[in-house]
Amino acid sequence: MTTTKIALITGANKGIGKEIARQLGQLGMTVLVAARDAERGRAASAELTGDGIDARPVLLDVTDPDSVATAAKQVEQEHGRLDVLVNNAGIIDAGDQDGRAVADTFERTYATNVIGVMTVTRAMLPLLRKGAQARVVNLSSELGSVSLQSDPDGEFSGIRLYAYNSSKAALNMLTVMLAKELQPDGIAVNAVSPGYCATDMNDHEGYRTPAQGAADAVRVATADGPTGGFYGESGTLPW
């Protein structure tokens, strides 16, 4: 088995996920470009490989437990362990606008943003336990900060994406619970907000680039030390 660090990034065929894969690859890691669309995953991997990065496509739909189990088996067979897991895949459902979200919107949002993260993390845990100082990074958002949302004068208080915001708050709690569970195994689990990046999710209206958002996740994914924290460009963020 290779001694190079192995990193798997969900939703890595575009946007912030692909930039996280690029930056981890530039640090010498083998990056597993996980995507639910096989063709797009292969295309992203080929692009990264063309830039001199050791990138491998992995077919993985975070909302499909069978797909996740198959991906975990592939990683085990080809690499034997996992050193970094970045749970990047996330959605804002089209129906999640101005507080109008209904049950179906919540179900679709939570299936990816919360349940998908837990499904992937649980499936990859045996491999992470074999990794070297393994790190799990969950891509969250300042919109999921209860403290920031509670500030009536804050910049986020008027953004009423009920399903998305609450899913990221749930993800933050999941991060804390996993961090406590996995600390005895030496696995650090942290949440990172990449900020408002220009991606498909917001019709590329964000004021940060995907590369800038990715840098925050990569910094936490490669840091020695803290676990159970919530971080962004400015440092520690309030829950």
**Distance from C-alpha of 217 to C-alpha of 194, rounded to nearest angstrom:** 7
pLDDT value of position 205: 55
Catalytic residue (choose from 5, 18, 110, 168): 168
pLDDT value of position 196: 57
Please indicate whether residue 168 is annotated as part of the active site: yes
Provide the pLDDT confidence category of residue 211 given band limits of 50, 70 and 90. Answer: confident
* Cβ-proximal residues to 11 (8 Å cutoff; 6+ apart), any chain: 17, 34, 35, 36, 62, 88, 89, 90
Question: 3-class SS at 87?
Answer: strand
Provide the pLDDT confidence category of residue 209 given band limits of 50, 70 and 90. Answer: confident
Domains of the chain: 6-236 (3.40.50.720)
Report, as an integer, the average pLDDT of 166-188.
98
Least confident of 27-41, 50-64, 145-159, 187-201: 187-201
pLDDT value of position 1: 47
**Distance from C-alpha of 21 to C-alpha of 30, rounded to nearest angstrom:** 9
pLDDT value of position 200: 55
Instruction: Output 154 or 32, whichever has higher pLDDT.
Output: 32
Catalytic residue (choose from 73, 164, 180, 207): 164
Please indicate whether residue 164 is annotated as part of the active site: yes
| Mean pLDDT score across all residues of the chain | 92
Is the per-residue pLDDT at 137 higher than 90? yes
Structure confidence by residue, pLDDT tens digits, 51-106: 999 999 999 999 999 999 999 999 999 999 999 999 999 999 999 988 888 999 99
